[in-house]
Amino acid sequence: MFLHALDIRDPDVAIDLLTRGAHANRTAPCRRGSLDVIAPDPACPLIATGDLHDSPARMARLLELAGMTDPDQPPAAHLTLHELIHPPDPPDGIDLSFRALVRTAAVKAAFPNHLHALLANHELAQIVGAGIIKDGVNVVKLFNDGVKMAYRERAADVDAAIRDFVRSMPLGLRITGAAEDGRDLLCLHSLPDPTLIDRFDPSVLERDITEDDYQPRRGSAHILVWGREQSPELIERLADRWNVGGFVLGHEKAERGTLLLSPLALVLNTDHDGAVYVPVDFSRRWSATSLQAHAIPLIG
């Protein structure tokens, strides 16, 4: 795999890869405002995933499945990745998950129209400084400590490149006309929380993201990636607003790898022993229920 040849311990290499990845995010042929948008191609399926949380083995397996191990060869599939950072149990308490961002940026630069790195709440928390406490640990601080330990006097430069890469991420991947009812499939990290829906601007999926969109609990990008406990009625309302016949999401815990929130919304997890992915063959159209039935264990 070409990633093995990259010395991301070198701050100049890491900064270059993050910068090229950010450029690819913003300028890829598929980018439309805040979304990546593709037409379904039977010759090039989608590998849909959920939260990853810094699992190098799972990420390597997904890249292998998508045919993204050699930049000189065309990819075999589109691939979504999200929630890349903040492992649940970092070895020796040291979070080096910035490496997942650097590697994702490298893959995006190599496969700009096929790798879709979606903004998630942990990446957004990292750049806006909003702490996430898990098991009594501030994972945002732990991530920052890992960057400082790895890059020392160049840590601030690498951190700036990380922030730019995260700001370049699309909110989702839209596949036109791929749903069972003829509407679009939409891959997002999550959907807005019902308690904040009145603050949410649904047009954020139809325009460029602004800095205000990232602001905690009032920005539309922030509300989108942090949302939980959506009712079937809210999901249906958003689907109608966005012309969506099916959502593929992450963020929520799915013990067995999948969780159906409603007939329109499927949650995937790719970060635990029950990790799954869903191969989406565009020779047919899909519903959330049929996508769930085609989930495949990622490892094992």
- Could you give the domains of the chain? 11-297 (3.60.21.10)
Distances (CA, A) of 152 to 27, 83, 86, 160: 31, 25, 20, 14
What is the C-alpha to C-alpha distance for residues 267 and 269, in angstroms, rounded to an integer? 7
Confidence of residue 91 (pLDDT cuts 50, 70, 90): confident
The residue-averaged pLDDT of 162-189 equals 98
User: How many CB atoms within 10 Å of residue 186?
Assistant: 28
**pLDDT tens digits along 6-17:** 999 999 999 999
Confidence of residue 89 (pLDDT cuts 50, 70, 90): confident
Asked if pLDDT for residue 129 goes beyond 80, the answer is no
Asked if pLDDT for residue 199 goes beyond 80, the answer is yes
Confidence of residue 300 (pLDDT cuts 50, 70, 90): low
Start-end of H helices in 28-138: 56-65, 98-110, 121-128
Tell me the pLDDT of the chain averaged across its residues.
95
